[in-house]
Structure 1
Amino acid sequence: MSNLTRLFLATLSGLVLAAGVHIAIIFAAPSFAENDAFNRLQETLTEDQAQLISPAGGEKTWLPLPDPATAVAACAFDLSDGPVRVTAKPGQDFLSFSFHTKTRGVFFAVTDRAAIRGELELVVMTPRQLDEARAAEDENDPSRDVRIVAPQEQGYIVVRVAAPRPSQRVQAEEAAKAVTCTIDEDEAS
């Protein structure tokens, strides 16, 4: 084997190894992050209301580039204590929810178009909790909740409320903070 061939194979092997290590580090980085969104929202596990994470007026936020036309609130959930009920009363402004696992990203999203009679009620649960809820359900009176099956027990919910005009920002923030995230006693029992 010539020196040129050996040099080519060594260079190619080094590039392939470097690419593999680079890709592995990129995929592993989120699991090593200590200050991720779930950990920042951990205190909301004991609260009933969503926490505003994009305040107006230039206040500090941990979002990288907050949108001034959107009020953003969030709350964490832990399904080991039971299903979590998320309740909101949509107003005139656009309202959306995105459901995230602790480590894998978005697994469900919904907008205020899913509201029934002016109220949006969602229940986040594990597959086992869904089976139990279905077994306990009355056939003549089925549940009207939107049930969302989470792939992991821990995660967080991001609420976005549009504020198309600066004068509507306070109203949007109030709507975002009014979202409740509580353990669902009906489904947990």
Structure 2
Amino acid sequence: MKRAVRWILSIAVIAGVTHLVAIFILPRALMTLIVFKISSEANGVNQLYLPDRITSNSRKIVRPAPDLAYAICAYDLSDGPVLATLNTSETYSSLSVFANNTDNVFAINDRAVTGDVATVLLSNEDTDVTPPAGAIAVKVPSDRGLILWRRVITSNADWPKADAARREVICVPYHST
């Protein structure tokens, strides 16, 4: 009986530790690695990274789609808010914000944009900042994470247009005046 209780307790402890690692540690560790890799490619945080067109060999992000043009920004809010934009397009495009635990904390697509561009102001939950006129204020639960833009490429002939459009989005530190 004593041996069975020890065995059950051992299994419970192993299961508990495994659960904590899987839920709390692993997502943050993976995002930290991804933020580091993206910011290295972009020459720093709060800088736009424009990966090459996706092929079957592309693996900077999990299972990238070859019919999407990507732009990525590793954001860091420790020095203040970050401003990002999403332009409207003839094909579908979106902007998604991911916290350091891989949670998608905000998303918008170009169909929800009034006018030609949506401006998003990211700040941490402790920062009190007034967004620029017309901007969407997004409070993020972590100082670091990723912003991911996606734009549908309808054909090979559409790639230059999609590439030019993704180069127009911004990811920059915001300094209110």
Instruction: Classify the TM-score, shorter chain.
Output: 0.7 to 0.9
The structure that has the greater radius of gyration is 1
How far the C-alpha of 1:107 sits from its partner, in A, is: 1.1
- Counterpart selection for 2:173 from 172, 183, 187: 183
- Counterpart selection for 1:168 from 150, 154, 158: 158
Structure 1 unaligned regions, length at least 5: 135-141
Cα pair distance change 1:160/1:75, threshold 3 Å: same
Cα pair distance change 1:102/1:34, threshold 3 Å: closer
Structure 2 partner of 1:20: 16
Q: Percent identity?
A: 22
CA distance in 1, matches of 2:45, 2:141: 23
Q: State whether residues 56 and 169 of structure 1, in contact with CA within 8 Å, keep that contact through their aligned partners in structure 2.
A: no
CA distance in 2, matches of 1:179, 1:35: 24
- Counterpart selection for 2:145 from 128, 140, 155: 155
How far the C-alpha of 1:48 sits from its partner, in A, is: 7.2
Higher helix share: 1
Q: Deviations over 1:154-177 (max 9, x none)?
A: 222011111233432333233223
CA distance in 2, matches of 1:80, 1:156: 14
TM-score (ref. length: structure 2): 0.81
TM-score (ref. length: structure 1): 0.76
Number of residue pairs matched by the alignment: 175
Q: State whether residues 49 and 178 of structure 1, in contact with CA within 8 Å, keep that contact through their aligned partners in structure 2.
A: no
Q: State whether residues 28 and 100 of structure 2, in contact with CA within 8 Å, keep that contact through their aligned partners in structure 1.
A: no
Cα pair distance change 1:179/1:155, threshold 3 Å: same
Structure 2 unaligned regions, length at least 5: none
How far the C-alpha of 1:60 sits from its partner, in A, is: 4.1
Q: Deviations over 1:47-104 (max 9, x none)?
A: 8762123623556442232111111210122223322111232210111111112235
